[in-house]
Structure 1
Amino acid sequence: MTRPQRFIDDEGKRLDGRKPDEIRPVKMQVGVLSNADGSALVEYGLTKVLAAVYGPKESQKSISLPDRASLRVRYHMAPFSTEERKNPAPSRREVELSKVLRESLEPIVITDYFPRTSIDIFIEVLQSDGGTRTVGATAASLALADAGIPMKALVAGVAIGKVDNVLIVDLNEVEDMYGDADMPIVAAPDLGQITLYQLNGVLSKEEFHNAIDMAMKVINKLVDIEKETLRNSYKEAGEE
């Protein structure tokens, strides 16, 4: 993959034809795995992530917490998720992102309802084209809701970046790799709370505030799609 000479053309369009503030097509589906307590498949463009939730279930004494459930998250990229076959063994990046995603979900899961138990969340990247951690957080949120795990609110994620001195939303892989900045954000808009914030690159103070505003507008729309997806699944279950 080579770095493009320009990310935005004279008409203000990005490499894939989107405007700077335009997200990729989003698809969400819940209940996709019959052997999980909750599951969700989320797509932002070509990035596809599957999340499965198991629990709460009784935890081993050595890792159980007396006052709440322990949230365990495993983020993994399938060997076929990238252009070149990926080693199936967990990488250092995957271990790090497992921790980051767990910390982004802990503030919204009501774990003190289930002491001495564990809730396992498996996040599997099926196809990667940028934004896998933010899509993973969105999929995990939906899967938790599908499993009936009590939560304070739903979360969703999106990455804001900068290319050609222009802020853009929902980076694809080329923009992520070669852009001037990448800022993944996960938030619970119903709580007015950001649960994950990272920044690679440099933004001015004004760019930072504008990027947060852009992210929250997108995340509000994504959470609305999550709610609609859940409502439709309940309607279908009721009809059956």
Structure 2
Amino acid sequence: MMSNKLLSDQGLRLDGRRPHELRKISCKLGVFSQPDGSAYIEQGNTKVLAAVYGPHQASAKKSSQDEVIVNCQYSMATFSTGERKSRPRGDRKSTEMTINLQQTLRAAILTELYPKSQIDVYIEILQADGGTYCASVNAATLALIDAGICIKEYICACTASLANGDVPLMDVSNLEENCGGPTLSVAALPTSNKIAFMEMSQRFHLDQLPKVLEHAQQGCQEIRYILDKAVQEHITLMGYASDWGNVVKN
């Protein structure tokens, strides 16, 4: 199996990480002035921009809803995968990712605070190297905070997989996704220990799923710490963070 090559005899992955280590993550809030909120994140070689507009009044057709409408748009830059062929915007994969992101972000936003309103979240993948959904969730969380959108708590996402048949891997790269076993993507609310979204590329054996899920959730916990540090640095730099003080923590 190709997955046997994902760990060296010393227990190191192809990029030098230990099985339980995240890729290097760097992020920044407020990268654009036009949107109400924005953020940029690098998770390994995966690079994502997120922009948030709103809350603003929903269209007359949708304004009858009591809770806010969370509108997402996910797209990949034509150069993001390093291949000459590119998927058109609005293809099946992007549509599926958009629906998943809407579901995930609604789990974090205090939607009842914005009746008859709409929040637009735009995600652009600048470079894809595994875990694009997870990096998108993490970037969107920071952009929502930058926009002053009230959220229950940080919502963070991380992948996990298996190497050598039974060794859990945290935060898998594109090469590991393609050469290893099935990949589990998890979006979680780490503070309250709740899962907002979970997806498997293939089925895991029932005996393996708990330890893979545990690694993904641990990754979410560590990512929460990284995102929170970025928010605190942004507050220190800017002197404020919109309505961040109104966030309700469970």
Please, what TM-score do these two structures have when normalized by structure 2?
0.91
Alignment-mate amino acid for residue 51 of structure 1: A
Q: Say yes or no: does 1:99 pair with 2:104.
A: no
Write the deviation string for residues 95-148 of structure 1: whole angstroms up to 9, x where unpaired. Answer: 011001110111110111111111000011010000000010011111101100
C-alpha separation between the residues in 1 aligned to 2:4 and 2:216? 26
Code of the residue aligned with 1:71 in structure 2: it is V
RMSD: 1.5
The total of aligned residue pairs comes to: 237
Task: Render the CA deviation track for 1:62-108: whole Å, top value 9, x for unaligned.
Answer: 12343111000111111110111314432100001100111011111
**Aligned 8 A contact 2:159 2:184 in 1:** yes
Q: One-letter code of the match for 1:61?
A: A
Instruction: Show the counterpart of 2:134.
Output: 134
Secondary structure in 2 matching 1:9: coil
What is the match of residue 145 of structure 1?
A: 145
Contact 1:47 1:132 in 2 (8 A): yes
Aligned pair 1:195/2:196, yes or no?
A: yes
Q: State which drifts further: 199-208 or 73-82.
A: 199-208
Aligned match of 1:183: 184
Cα shift at 1:218:
1.5
Show the counterpart of 1:156: 156
Q: Distance in 1 between matches of 2:111 and 2:3?
A: 46
- How many Å separate the matches in 2 of 1:17 and 1:226? 23
Give the gaps of 5 or more residues in structure 2. Answer: 241-250
CA displacement at 1:37 relative to structure 2: 0.4
Q: Distance in 2 between matches of 1:34 and 1:123?
A: 16
- The residue type paired with residue 97 of structure 1 is M
Q: In 1, distance between residues paired with 2:168 and 2:64?
A: 43
Query: Please, which runs of 5 or more residues in structure 1 have no aligned partner?
Result: none
SS in 2 for 1:206: coil
**Residue 48 of structure 2 aligns to a residue in which SS?**
strand
AA matched with 2:107? P
Alignment of 1:23 with 2:22, yes or no, is yes
Matched AA of 1:49: V
User: Which secondary structure does the structure 2 equivalent of 1:98 belong to?
Assistant: helix
Give runs of ≥4 in structure 1 deviating > 6 Å. Answer: none
Residue aligning to 1:204: 205
Could you tell me how far apart the structure 2 residues matched to 1:66 and 1:196 are?
24
* Aligned residue number for residue 111 of structure 2: 111
In the TM superposition, what is the alpha-carbon distance from 1:156 to its structure 2 partner? 0.8
Alignment partner of 2:183: what SS? strand
Structure-1 residue corresponding to 2:248: none
Partner of 1:171: 172
Contact 2:138 2:157 in 1 (8 A): yes
Q: Give the distance between the partners of 2:72 and 2:89, measured in 1 at CA.
A: 16
Task: Name the amino acid aligned to 2:232.
Answer: R
TM-score (ref. length: structure 1): 0.94
Query: Using the alignment, how far apart are the partners of 1:21 and 1:28 within structure 2?
Result: 21
**Aligned residues of 2:4 and 2:163 also touching (Cα < 8 A):** no
The answer on whether the counterparts of 1:78 and 1:88 sit within 8 Å (CA) in structure 2 is no
SS in 1 for 2:16: coil
> Helix, strand or coil: the match of 2:143?
helix
What per-residue deviation string (whole Å, max 9, x for no partner) do you get for residues 9-57 of structure 1? Answer: 1111111111111111010110001111001111111000111000001
Give, as a single letter, the amino acid of the residue that structure 2 aligns with 1:26. Answer: I
